[in-house]
Amino acid sequence: MSASRSDEWLVLRHVEHEHIGTLASSLEQAQFQHRYVDLFRGDPVPETLGQFYGLIVMGGPMGVYEMDRYPFLEQEQKLIRRTAEANLPVLGICLGSQLIASSLGARVFPGPVKEIGWFPVEVTAPEDSFTAGLPPSFMGFHWHGDTFDLPDGALRLFRSGLYENQGFRWGQNVLALQFHFEVSPTMIEKWLQDEGCCAELAAIQDINPETIRRQTAEGAEKLEELGRQIFGQFLKAVTSDK
């Protein structure tokens, strides 16, 4: 690893319950640490990555287009763009993937229907180094209502039946995932009990929290296994100097 970069990743967090989850073990295995910037607590977004090794941008209930309500969204996009163009590692999950797409010039907009719960995900680039060895399709966990166009130069990695763009790679240093590889049963239960999440579910008649709990018991272990695989391959690709 270059002497000018530390062994820490900077993590932008928008709400407390959307943390890096099972990704923490992949970072630890690769001998990395992480530090949160808690935007919901008023922590400022740094202008540059500084000494941090890479940038992780997590999910949240806001939309990329709500910069008038959440000014930090614009600051995040500037940091993402600078980091990506400097060929430093960037990983975005859910809202984080949308912020990456927007920072790279793509449109982010509300989708036709909210995708919440367990739904199949298809691998669209099975020969790519980031997705190599993943099954052709698997059950992923979703909690989003927005989507994005692919940025210029991006390679689509995943799709679902409801959303064509579920993840992409940009260059060799940027990975954007619309759905969630990082969740554990404990995390999902906290989401289901969160006041904001409960209100969102209550407004959607065809989503049953008990169905989500049952499917979590059935699918979480396999998703965690696949998460270790893709996070491990991403970290291997972006840490050749470590």
Annotated catalytic residue 182: yes
Indicate which residue of 76, 94, 144, 197 is catalytic.
94
115 noted as active-site residue:
no
Indicate which residue of 142, 182, 197, 224 is catalytic: 182
SS3 104: coil
Give just the sign of the alpha carbon dihedral 20, 112, 156, 132. Answer: positive
HSE-CB for 187 with a 13 A CA cutoff: 20
Instruction: Give how far Cα 54 sits from Cα of 10, 22, 38, 88, 140, Å.
Output: 6, 17, 17, 6, 25
Q: Which two tokens stand for residue 102?
A: 């927007």
Catalytic, out of 19, 76, 180, 197: 180
User: Looking up tokens 């036709």, which residue turns up?
Assistant: 112
Q: Helix count (H) and strand count (E) of the chain?
A: 6, 9
Active site residue 198: no
Residues forming the active site: 94, 180, 182
